[in-house]
Every structure is written in C-alpha cells, then in structure tokens.
Amino acid sequence: MEWSSILVLAGSFFILLAIGTPISFAIGISSLLTIMLSLPVDAAIQVIAQKMATGLDSFSLLAIPFFILAGNIMNRGGIALRLIEFAKVLGGRLPGSLAHVNVLANMMFGSISGSAVAAAAAVGGTMAPLQKKEGYDPAFSAAVNITSSPTGLLIPPSNTFIVYSLISGGTSIGALFLAGYIPGILMGLGIMVVAYFIARKKGYPVSAKPTSKEVLKKTFDALPSLGLIVVIIGGIIAGIFTATEASAIAVVYTLILAMFIYKEISLKELPRIILDASVTTSIILLLIGTSMGMSWAMANADIPYLISDALLTVSENPIVLLLIINLILLIIGTFMDMTPALLIFTPIFLPIATELGVDPVHFGILMTFNLSIGICTPPVGSTLFVGCSVAGVKIDQVIKPLLPFYAVLIATLLLVTFVPQLSLFLPQLLLGY
C-alpha cells in the first residue's frame, strides 16, 4: 500500500508538471489520486475539500497577504535606490565596491520586500548599468546579484517562515524571524568574501570616498525604510504585538512611508498595488490549501514513516542523515520553487529531523537556506532568470562565474547545519526560546 501510494503520488505529480499543469493543481490532483487508493471517489473529494478549508483556517496565515502588500508598496515606493545609496556608504571602499554594494542592498531590500525576485530585479536592474560602466564583467555582476538576492528570505520578515510555521505545526514565527538573522548575514558575507578576491584578481575599481555630508544624507534617506525592520522585530521581541499583527502594522508603515515621506506612490496607484498583492496571495493560499491535502494523503499512506525508515537503514549517524537531507533539498530546489517545496517536504523531513534531535526552528532555517540556494540554480531558478535578464547575459555565460559563489553558499549551509547555535542564539537570548 505504502509503496503504491508513493508511486501514484510522485508519478502523477511529476507527469502533471511535465505536461504543464500549474503546480497547485498538480499537487491537488496527485493527492486526490493517492487518497482514492484507500477511499471511494466521493469520500476522497470530501477529504481534499475539507483539508483545504481547514488548512487555510489559520490566524497566522493573515500575515501572508499583509506582508505581500507591504512588499508591493515598498517595491514601488522608491526604496531600492535609497538602500543602494546607503549600501555605497557601507561597502564603497572595498575592491570591487559596486559588487559589495549589490550584496548589501539585496540583503536590506530583500528583507524589507520579502521577495528574492523583487530584490534581483530592483537592485540588479539599478546596479548592472553602473557596474558595466565601471568595467565589471556583466556575467560576474549577474552572479553576485543572483546569489545575494535570496539573502532576504532568511533575514526577516519572511513569508517563507510563516508558511513553515503553519506546515510544521505551529513553530514560533517570532523565533524563526530571529533565527534567520545570523545565517542570512553569514550568507551575504560569504558572497562578499568571494567577490572581494575575484575583484582583487581582476582589478575592479574602488568607489570614491563619500564626503561626510553625503554619508549623512544617504543614511538619513535610508533610515525610514530600515525602520520597518526595527518596528516589526522590536515589537515582536517586546511582546507588543504578534507576528501576524506586525504584518498589518507593516502595511500601515510602508503606506505612510511611500505616500507621505518618499511621495513615490499616489492614491490612484493603490488599487493596482492591492490587486497585484491579492493575486499573489491567492496563488500562495491555493498552494497551501492543496498542500494540506497532500500532507494528509502522505500521512494516511504512512509515506513520511516509510521514507524515515528508508533513510535510517542507510545510516543512524545524525551527521550523515543531515547531509543526505541537505543533498535531497538542494536537488529539489533546482527544479521546484521554494513555497511548494517547503509545503511538500516539510512533513516528510521534519519528523526525521526531530527524531535526530534537531530543533524545529533550526530545521526551518536549514530548509529555507537549502531552497534559497535552489532558486539561484538551473534549470528553473527564478532569481537566476531574473538576474540574467536584468544584466543582459545568457544563462550559459553566467554558470562559470556562479561556481565559486555556489561553493561558499554550500560551505555556509554546512556551517549553519552543524552549528545550530548560529540559528538558535538570538531566539534563546531575546525570546527565551
């Protein structure tokens, strides 16, 4: 029964994807076919419908539309340019300074917008012409932008952590937010180290030192944008509001910032921004709903336990098993987008990880880190395509420059994997987790 369920679930899912079925429908249909192995058709349909409805009946999920709306407002509110100017103050005196500016701007903009693709497009689109003018290899510039844009998925606020919290059975969102800081910063710093050595070897220029007046102005211009992170995380740590309530506050904050302080958005643009956020939210919630049905189908067929037993027959060494899980997630990330991968594979691997003594918060960081690397890689990496597009280079041109960055990302992933305190230090310090 179990192996036939795995065959039907995996086989139908990948066949549907191969023929171009939207992933939400592929998840729902394959789940329905799997449930029909043990239940009549009408009962299977009822189960899927019930699981979709109950799966979306969660207060925590309210944070997703609010954070998406806040991100859309920030994307159109002139935030990227101000953060780039501020990043020049922070990293402008290093060899290959514009590459470091790209990384720092992606870290800040990605964390504020909550979108790696938005960061790759907004920051990369601004930086690529500047780097080309300074004599940077466009493929190198694209590689830096592509690999640094997902850092914002680890540095909060992040919708990925909200989805993981729901699917993992209520892992603290506040703890996940805090846990992402050190791994996200390490990810960005690792990319900067590689960029530094490549820039020195190729003789890329150092930017002119800004005057004190320019430093003050650029810092002052960026502070309101960076204040969003302080308000959200500070409020959660202080217990003033929950992560879900913080998402609504983020909308109000970004709206005031974009309309009245930066004055980049007019009232007539708001309906379109809200509509775009609604469409994105609908796509994500449909994914979550159908994935809840898949989770039930897998649990009903004992698929997670079967996979767990299969892994434990390979080895009982936690180090070996974590390496295998990381390898599987890295492979999954190369052909599946982050949200569906998180929804499908968390119920499979989280029980194994907890059996190995891995904290659920730490494992959430590991899953996000793995899948963040995946969206930078071919064949279907979303930031890979966007980064190449804004830099005006082909994918085959950027693969070789990407290799040293992939190496440092995987090295940082292994460091985070086997030093759990890198993830758990801040939640334990600030929340008593």
Predicted confidence at residue 91, as pLDDT, reads: 64
**pLDDT value for 404:** 95
User: At residue 61, does pLDDT exceed 60?
Assistant: yes
**What is the predicted pLDDT for the residue at 2?**
61
Give CA–CA dist 289/49, Å, rounded.
9
Angle CA 366–225–247, to nearest 5 = 60
Residue 196 clears pLDDT 60, i.e. is over it = yes
- Kindly report the average pLDDT of the chain as a whole number: 86
The pLDDT score that the predictor gives to residue 197 is 93
Strongest mean pLDDT among 65-69, 74-78, 367-371? 367-371
pLDDT above 90: residue 194: yes
| CA–CA gap between residue 162 and residue 159 (Å, rounded) | 5
What pLDDT shows up at residue 407?
A: 95
- Measure the CA–CA gap between 394 and 392, rounded to whole angstroms: 7
Which residues are CB-contacts of 191 (< 8 A; sequence separation ≥ 6)? 103, 144, 147, 148, 151, 405, 408, 409
Between 3 and 366, whose confidence is greater? 366
> What tens digit of pLDDT does each residue of 255-291 get?
888 888 888 888 888 899 999 889 888 888 888 888 8
Q: Convert the pLDDT of each residue in 82-124 to its tens digit.
A: 877 787 777 666 778 888 888 988 888 877 777 788 788 888 8
Nearest to residue 250, comparing CAs of 284, 242, 82?
Answer: 242
The tokens describing 290, both together, are 């159908």
Tokens 């060494």 -> residue:
317
Q: What is the pLDDT of residue 266?
A: 86
186-195, 276-285, 340-349, 394-403 — most confident range: 186-195
- Predicted local distance difference test score (pLDDT) of residue 92: 63
Choose among 139, 89, 214: nearest CA to 402. 139
Find the mean pLDDT for residues 4-19. Answer: 85
Residue 226's pLDDT is what? 81
Residue partners of 197: CB distance under 8 A and separation at least 6: none
Q: Which residues contact 152 (CB under 8 A, 6 or more apart)?
A: 106, 107, 108, 109, 110, 111, 112, 113, 114, 115, 116, 119, 158, 184
Per-residue pLDDT tens digits for 362-381: 999 999 999 999 888 877 67
Average pLDDT on 386-414 reads 91
Residue 68: exposed, middle, or buried by beta-carbon count in 10 A (0-12, 13-18, 19+)?
buried
What whole-number percentage of the chain has pLDDT above 90? 24
Q: Is residue 166 scored above 90 in pLDDT?
A: no
User: Does the pLDDT at position 1 exceed 60?
Assistant: no
Higher pLDDT pick, 109 / 164: 164
pLDDT (0 to 100) of residue 69? 87
